[in-house]
Amino acid sequence: MSRIHLNYKIIFHFFGLLLLFNGGFMLIATLISLIYKDGVTLELLLAGMATLLIGSFAMVRTRNHRKEMNKREGYIVVAFGWIVMSLTGTLPYLVTGAIPTFTEAFFETMSGYTTTGASILNDIEILPKGVLFWRSTTHWIGGMGIIVLAIAILPLLGVGGMQLFAAEAPGPGGDKLHPRITDTAKRLWLIYFGYTAAETLLLQLAGMSFFDAINHALSTLSTGGFSTKNASIAHWNDNPAIQYIIMFFMFLAGTNFVLSYYLFKGKVSKIVRDDEFKLYFQFIAAFTLVAALLIYFRADVSQSSIAHPMVLGAGESAFRHGLFQVLAIVTTTGFVTADYTMWTPFLTVFFFGLMFLGGSAGSTAGGVKVVRHLILIKNGFLEFKRALHPNAILPVRYNKKSISGDIVFNILGFFILYMLSFIIGGLGFSMFQMDFESAIGLSASSLGNVGPALGDFGPVNNYAGLPPLGKWWASFLMLLGRLELFTILILLTPFFWRNR
């Protein structure tokens, strides 16, 4: 069996293109720094120009590439593209001194691009505004997917983007808005940008400063969770309007963006009939009811809030905190309004379980995804029928269509791999002398791209206490979860690198 011959030129050409995007967004952060006169404009400009220079060099050196890309090259571009972006994304932190060590800067950057939202920063509010904006921007770029962004201009390279979309598109729901994949990417990004602009405006009208509003909009729509405040969204516990606006957009970010396209086209019936959306809505409603009732009758929210006290009464506060935390964890955004581990032991375990749910396929959320749970549940119930009627043909149906056995087996395989990855992740963290609660919390949170974990790394703590090797392990799990396991794990198999 001979080794495969890869089209390395197009791989590095694409890396160069990604770096041009990265450098361009760094220059926007430079502009923010200049506007707010935060003292690091020159450093951010240097980081942006260096990234643009590396990207331009890579593109020029590989301009005579062969205009074709197979699946192997697509997987390599997606997996290593995220790593290349994360490596260069550390520059704004390093050159400004906001994060002095490479390990911590890489962790923060990977957490940003994978929209995990875990942070090693002890005092966020002292950071220069240009650096804070760059930090939120890494969420926004990673949210819809670095690769999907670049697909929109792949025709300039004369390359079709289907292989990349297959590797990058989150979840098994491969709905396309338009026959051409580049047009699909453009429409998704237009919706993404529109939602971000709308949330920025609404948050500003509700009382946030423009800077806080745009940063939180970037974090919300990407389901990331980076905040400009040490207390996260608890900083605005005396302003419920702000929290309800963020909740609304967290809900939208956790839904399939294809459904948003249908909404704007007036095809509401497609949304109402979508099995995944119905279950996603029902999950959130049911889980919020459980959380709100327990908070109201059993927990003292005022003792667990990070910043401000309740303002509209116990009932509203219980509902708001319950809905907020359910949405934040289900959509893997990771914002917090209170220390939910202080409410009741049941709710601590409850929210830990929600880390394995995830948002909808085709959303910016991480996790297992609702559609996979739906198909597993349906297949599980059919197994009872098959036991009674072994000769009956009983296919799993999704949106009134039969699903092939291959898709069901793929989802079963994914779920098994996900749980194995979670167990191995927890074992890895336990090697750093962590207690059981902290180890499994870190593993579930990193793999699900949630952000806050349990134990020593709960919602009011950060990841600064994680040892250097632990930060690298967490970074790997974040990437593994963000690219839905297969894209990374397939690169670790010997047959991927052979012809047969």
Q: H/E/C letters for each residue in 125-175?
A: HHCCHHHHHHHHHHHHHHHHCHHHHHHCCHHHHCCCCHHHHHHHCCCCCCC
Q: What pLDDT does residue 79 have?
A: 86
* Alpha-carbon dihedral angle through residues 256, 260, 265, 271, given to the nearest 10 degrees: 60
Task: Assign 162 a pLDDT band (cuts: 50, 70, 90).
Answer: very low
The distance between the two most distant Cα atoms of the chain, rounded to a whole number of Å, is 73
Q: How far apart are CA 139 and CA 429, in angstroms?
A: 25
Cα–Cα distance for residue pair 477/93, rounded to 1 Å: 22
| Residues 223-252 pLDDT 10s | 999 999 999 999 998 899 999 999 999 999
Q: Positive or negative CA dihedral for 492, 498, 499, 500?
A: negative
The pLDDT of residue 495 is above 60:
yes
Instruction: Inform me whether the pLDDT recorded for 305 exceeds 70.
Output: no
pTM to 2 decimal places? 0.90
pLDDT at 304 over 60: no
Residue with tokens 């942070």: 119
Q: How far apart are CA 152 and CA 268, in angstroms?
A: 27
pLDDT tens per residue across span 196-217? 999 999 999 999 999 999 999 9
Phi and psi torsions of 4, nearest 5°:
-75, 155
CA atoms of 173 and 371, how far apart (whole Å): 8
- At residue 3, the 3 state secondary structure works out as strand
Element (H, E) at 401: strand 401-402
Q: How many whole angstroms separate alpha carbon 110 and alpha carbon 89?
A: 8
CA distances from residue 335 to 157, 225, 383 in whole angstroms, order as listed:
39, 5, 38
Residue 154 has pLDDT above 50, yes or no: no
Tokens found for residue 292: 């709100």
Shortest CA distance to 489 belongs to which of 427, 426, 400, 418? Answer: 418
Half-sphere exposure of 463 (CA within 13 A, CB side): 31
Q: Region 99-116: what's the mean pLDDT? A: 95
Average pLDDT score, the chain: 87
pLDDT at 157: 37
Q: Residue 79 corresponds to which amino acid?
A: A
Q: What is the pLDDT of residue 227?
A: 94
The mean per-residue pLDDT over the stretch 108-137 comes to: 95
Long-range contacts of 426-430 (CB under 8 A, 24+ apart): 428/473, 429/470, 429/473, 429/474
CB < 8 Å & 24+ apart, contacts of 20-23: 20/52, 20/55, 20/56, 20/59, 21/141, 21/146, 21/149, 21/150, 22/51, 22/55, 22/85, 22/88, 22/89, 22/141, 23/48, 23/49, 23/50, 23/51, 23/52, 23/53, 23/55, 23/88
- Give yes or no for residue 168 having a pLDDT over 90: no
What pLDDT was estimated at residue 408? 87
Q: Answer yes or no: are the C-beta atoms of 165 and 151 closer than 8 Å.
A: yes
Average pLDDT value for residue range 279-293? 95
Amino acid at 147: I
Q: What is the pLDDT of residue 130?
A: 96
